[in-house]
Chains A and B, each alone.
Chain A
Amino acid sequence: MSDSPFEKTGNATWAQCPGCGHWFHISNALMEMKNVDLICPGCGKEFPPDDAAEVVRN
């Protein structure tokens, strides 16, 4: 990542549901709350952030 303040960087974090594979947009604050499960908008599965199939952080 560049240190330049003029280069654009993303700000959205995504998680992938381990049940149905649906990607959804989550806040970093939620990712950091290890005691709060994510809820997949695709299938309704509830799972801890660490159980996400994949996470793309920004």
Chain B
Amino acid sequence: MNDLRSYLNEIDNAIFRPDQPVSVVQEITALQHVMAARNANPAILVRQPRLPDGGISDMPVLTNLFASRELSAKALGIDDHRQSAKALSALSSKAIPPTVVDAADAPVREIVEEGDAANLLALPALRQHEGDAGHYVTCGHVVTYDPDTEIDNMGIQRLWVRGPRLMGCYMLETSHNMVNLRKFWARGEACPVAIWVGHHPAVEMGAQSKLGYPESHWGVAGGALGESLRLVPSVTHGEKIMVPADAEIVIEGFLPVDRIEAEGPFAEFSGYQGPQIPNPVVEVTCVTRRSDAIYHDCGSGLPDHLVPDNMGMEGFIYSLARQASTSLINVHVPVSGRRFHAYLQFKDPRPGEVRDAMMAAISFRRLKAVFAFDEDVDIFDDRQAMWALATRVQWHRDVLKLDGLTLAPLDPSAPATGRTITKAAIDATLPPAARPGHPKPMAPRNRVSDEAMAAAEDLLSGVDMTDWPA
């Protein structure tokens, strides 16, 4: 059985464990900022989270779990993170049905706190950034179900801890959870909800797969893990909402009918603060957890947040664009572009194929711009992407502007009014060779021989470069 603990054992030497107390108010997040600036991406396990009242939480805080692309890919069984797009595009076809277990066999049921005994304030939820409305559960997988079909849906949504049993819940209007909520509210019924926190990262990433509606996420999460996911009926909702038996924490409750309240501001994935907006609230009925639960946080707007989301996007975009062009060989959604940019890579595209694929990709609501590159450009290196844009693009010829497309959510530059934006597709591929095997009709790029490069690597191996000028 794989869970968060088994994974932490696997990556034991990739975890930073500060010995001293670290505050849940910005200090843990500041560690992530410093590490991201240095491109160092260990998981961080804070064994002594200092709470706002100065006390030390008994519950450790785990964060930065997803900051490393390499580790996140390996958690999914992908040896080379550069192959994530293809692997993740195939994930939904590898679903493994879940298994239902008794509550007695569910570690997440070791502690059950119902009614007034439930206390969200006991969780070491972080107040990550200046200006955040409060302490947020940032890695809560929100589970609802479609009342027509009883099929579950799941998505990570930011949750503002407002009291012992009250949370604000950000729900994007187009999300499948919002569709479910609207259906319940149209019937005059509160929407049942359960939120689970902490599991093997493969489960967390698989659970976030982009699926149709209504379509259960449990099988895909199990497929990502490589084994059947163990589920247990929730305390409040029974078999209507199942939760992972091997999660760390589960929060259960309802979204009461038409109860809309202010939620936010919150520092978002874009690197800017999302505004205070109207959102539903969760009234909590029950909290269950392991007796030694680990609280899993996700650093908003940091690689910890962007890497797993972007890898999932790569799989989705690959599926979309590959249908338009079989010369598409890879996709990268770079952290530098947040969720707004995608790099598409082609091998010997036929005339028109690059634009076909770019049009398919740009239809993904989250994207604002797509960029097309040849196979000789390392699309996982932004410097090479910029070099190709600088040297292979003629702006009058290679840029497509597309008006009236769906708005990328939380784009801080989006117009204040209007529901659509203009997107761009930029073709930085070279013109094709006259014949297969002939050189492309462009100046060749500078290079030294493989032998010379190998000799240079050998010469510098073991040389301490830390004091060399940047």
Contacts and interface: CB of A to CB of B under 8 A. Distances in A.
A58 B416 contact: yes
Interface in A1-58: 9-13, 24-30, 33, 36-39, 41, 46, 58
B275 A12 contact: yes
Contact of A41 (B133, B274, B412): B133
Contacts, number: 59
Contact of B131 (A10, A41, A58): A41
A12 B416 CA distance: 7
Interface string B271-282: 001111110000
Secondary structure at the B interface, as helix, strand, loop or mixed, is: loop
Most chain A beta carbons < 10 A, residue from B261, B274, B412, B415:
B261
B265 interface: yes
Interface in B405-460: 412-416
Contacts of A46: 262
A29 B277 contact: yes
B132 interface: yes
B308 interface: no
Interface string B92-118: 000000000000000000000000000
B273 A25 contact: yes
B278 A36 contact: yes
Nearest to B132: A41
Contacts of B131: 24-25, 41
A46 B415 CA distance: 28
Given A25-B265, A39-B262, A33 B134 contact: no
20 contacts: A11-B412, A11-B415, A24-B276, A25-B131, A26-B265, A26-B275, A27-B275, A28-B416, A29-B278, A30-B276, A36-B260, A36-B261, A36-B278, A38-B262, A38-B276, A39-B133, A39-B261, A41-B132, A41-B134, A58-B416
Given A25-B131, A26-B276, A27-B277, 13 more contacts: A11-B412, A11-B415, A11-B416, A12-B275, A24-B131, A26-B265, A28-B416, A29-B278, A33-B260, A38-B262, A39-B133, A41-B134, A41-B276
Interface of A: 9-13, 24-30, 33, 36-39, 41, 46, 58
